[in-house]
Amino acid sequence: MSLYKLLMPKMGEGVIEATIINWFKKVGDTISEDETIVEVATDKVDTEIQSPVSGIISKINYEKDAVVPVGDVLVLIEIEGSESNELDKFTVQVENTLLSEKTEKETENILPENQHFISDRKLTPLVRKMLKELSINKEEILSIEGTGANGKLTKRDILNYQEVKNKPVSVKQPVVELSRYQISMEGDEIVEMDRMRKLISQHMVDSKRIAPHVTSVVEADLTELVQWRDRIKDIFYKKFNQKITFLPVFIEAVVKAIKDFPNVNASVDGDRIILRKSINIGIATALSNGNLIVPVIKNAGQYNLEGLTMVLNELINRARENKLKPDDISGGTFTITNLGTMGNIIGTPIINQPQVAILATGAIIKKPSVLETDHGDVIAIRNKMYLSLSYDHRVVDGFLGGSFLKRISDYLENFNTNQIF
């Protein structure tokens, strides 16, 4: 017999931990290969983890609601056979993949080496980083009750301690204590943010802190495109059993513009700019609970318009049914958010880190417009739409950002309306 170590897998770009929602097995249970063993949640997606081997659950290292760093051992599985060389090789390979150079750089020297252990506690790199950032000293660390396995400190323990530590002292408090900037008024309803909303909130705050945002705006005349879609939408549905919206056309135009201006398809790592070869387009998608998720179309340039429509519809449907997998939301290099679905005409979107630009498309509105003709200027009713691009001014200057945005507009205004299906 030998033991197989099932590690917490990497759950997407920038995700360094996940919370255990539910265990489907307990110690002593038999499990088959590909059978679901645990459900976990990150700030981006909830997903089930399957066992890659068959065997008997020997040890579970984390309880429900525990926050587990990527790469930690979730569970030990006793399997048949005395030879474990292949399993050991697999485990080492996974561990090496999970411990990227960036993660090592971010966590090294957060606390001195002799403080990796405080008393009998081993501190994970994430916890050590938080303790350093929050200036929590050794005496305070010893006073914090750990809720992880064997009393290990978790991210949630640190956040709960810091929240209590920072609460202001007051003589009289309302039913729910508010921050010093808030005043409770009669009839107020106080709603706690759910886990996903808290993480989205932090992601947005971090983006504004990290990247100096600049937003450029253009107005595009989409009259020809609107007329084309009106002509072909029923034909398209009958042929492919798919509804075609304007969004696939927007994606196609963005992909073409990125090929013209590849420096927009990038991210920043300290003083280094990473130019992405793959064009992976994230689509900001609203969920029924009011939260937001960004499924990603990988290698979007390889699809024609029919392909983009099918991939897009499938991803959005699975997002709204909470059926996305970690790979569906990872690896994005550029994001589009469609404000037009809410009837908004313009917006200033926040960059989806670690990307350097995001495009917002507004509602298509009929409005009077001056047209130049061979017989002079005339006023005509045209279908117009604002496009706004927010970009990271550390690496995307106004000329590049403005030129890239204008190129997207040009592709939309000169869309090939002779396409048939």
Q: What are the residue ranges spanned by the domains of the chain?
A: 2-99, 105-183, 198-413
Looking at residue 108, what is its pLDDT? 37
Q: Is the pLDDT of residue 127 over 90?
A: no
Q: Is the pLDDT of residue 79 over 60?
A: yes
Between 152 and 242, the more confident residue is 242
Between 54 and 178, the more confident residue is 54
What is the spatial distance between Cα 165 and Cα 161, in angstroms, rounded to a whole number? 6
Looking at residue 244, what is its pLDDT? 96
Q: Is the pLDDT of residue 320 over 50?
A: yes
3-class DSSP state of 351: coil
Contact 358, 352 (CB under 8 A): yes
Encoding tokens for residue 24?
Answer: 């489907």
Between 167 and 246, the more confident residue is 246
Q: How far is CA 216 from the centre of its chain?
A: 24
What is the spatial distance between Cα 315 and Cα 248, in angstroms, rounded to a whole number? 12
Task: Kindly report, residue by residue over 210-232, the tens digit of the pLDDT.
Answer: 999 999 999 999 999 999 999 99
Residue 165 pLDDT class (50, 70, 90 cuts)? confident
Task: Kindly report, residue by residue over 368-411, the tens digit of the pLDDT.
Answer: 999 999 989 999 999 999 999 999 999 999 999 999 999 999 99
Q: How many residues does the chain have?
A: 421
Looking at residue 175, what is its pLDDT? 53
Lowest mean pLDDT segment, chosen from 61-75, 118-132, 153-167, 398-412: 118-132
Contact 210, 353 (CB under 8 A): yes
Looking at residue 109, what is its pLDDT? 38
Per cent of the chain over pLDDT 90 is: 55
Q: Is 393 assigned a catalytic role?
A: yes
Task: Kindly report, residue by residue over 245-293, the tens digit of the pLDDT.
Answer: 999 999 999 999 999 999 999 999 989 999 999 999 999 998 888 888 9
Nearest one of 240, 360, 365 to 307, comparing CA atoms:
240
Name the β-bridge partners of 378.
Answer: 371
Q: Is the pLDDT of residue 193 over 90?
A: no
Top-confidence range, 119-123, 324-328, 395-399, 417-421 = 395-399
Top-confidence range, 75-79, 169-173, 285-289 = 75-79
Q: Is the pLDDT of residue 164 over 80?
A: no
3-class DSSP state of 98: helix
Lowest mean pLDDT segment, chosen from 13-22, 137-146, 148-157: 148-157
What is the spatial distance between Cα 147 and Cα 155, in angstroms, rounded to a whole number? 10
Name the β-bridge partners of 77.
Answer: 4, 57
CATH topology of domain 2-99: OB fold (Dihydrolipoamide Acetyltransferase, E2P) (2.40.50)
3-class DSSP state of 359: strand
Lowest mean pLDDT segment, chosen from 11-20, 94-103, 366-375, 405-414: 94-103
Q: What is the mean pLDDT of residues 132-147?
A: 79
Looking at residue 261, what is its pLDDT? 98
Count of CB atoms situated within 10 Å of the CB of 51: 22
Burial 190-227 (b: 16+ CB within 10 A, else e): eeeeeebbebbeebeeebeeebebbbbebbbbbbbbbe
Q: Which of 88, 188, 269, 397 is catalytic?
A: 397
Q: What is the mean pLDDT of residues 332-344?
A: 95
Encoding tokens for residue 247?
Answer: 């969004």
Q: What is the mean pLDDT of residues 158-187?
A: 68
Q: What is the mean pLDDT of residues 156-182?
A: 67
H or E element at residue 57: strand 55-60
Between 202 and 264, the more confident residue is 264
Looking at residue 146, what is its pLDDT? 77
Please tell me the CATH code under which domain 198-413 is placed: 3.30.559.10
Q: What is the DSSP string of 65-78?
A: T-EEETTSEEEEEE
Q: What is the mean pLDDT of residues 119-125?
A: 62
Contact 69, 39 (CB under 8 A): no
Q: Which of 116, 213, 393, 410 is catalytic?
A: 393
Between 110 and 155, the more confident residue is 155
β-bridge pairing 121-122 and 117-118: antiparallel
pTM of the predicted model as reported, rounded to 2 decimal places: 0.66
